[in-house]
Amino acid sequence: MDERRILQLAQGYYYGFNIVRHIGEWKGYQVYSPGEKGETPMIGLPVFVLVKGEEMRLSTHEEAFAAMRYLYPDEEDEEEEE
């Protein structure tokens, strides 16, 4: 998927986004994190762009938190799995 198209979708949510970064795969989706280059990180609820094939959409807040838990597990979560 063309990152320019992904950025356009993210800018429809918040115009200040000017970069997207691929952060991994979750439930068959390629996950992109929009942000602002060289600026203070956005505060508030997280949002990701989810891409599967030609489908591209913004995550729900629930999906964003689930993807974050999967892509960035807490050390405590890792210890529980062992």
pTM over 0.85, yes/no: no
* pLDDT over 80 at 82, yes or no: no
* Residue 13 DSSP class: H
- Segment 9-65, tens digit of pLDDT: 998 888 788 999 999 999 999 999 998 887 666 778 889 999 999 999 999 999 999
Q: Which helix (H) or strand (E) holds 29?
A: strand 29-35
| Number of helices (H), then strands (E), in the chain | 3, 4
Q: Are 34 and 49 in contact (CB under 8 A)?
A: yes
Segments making up each domain of the chain, as ranges: 3-81
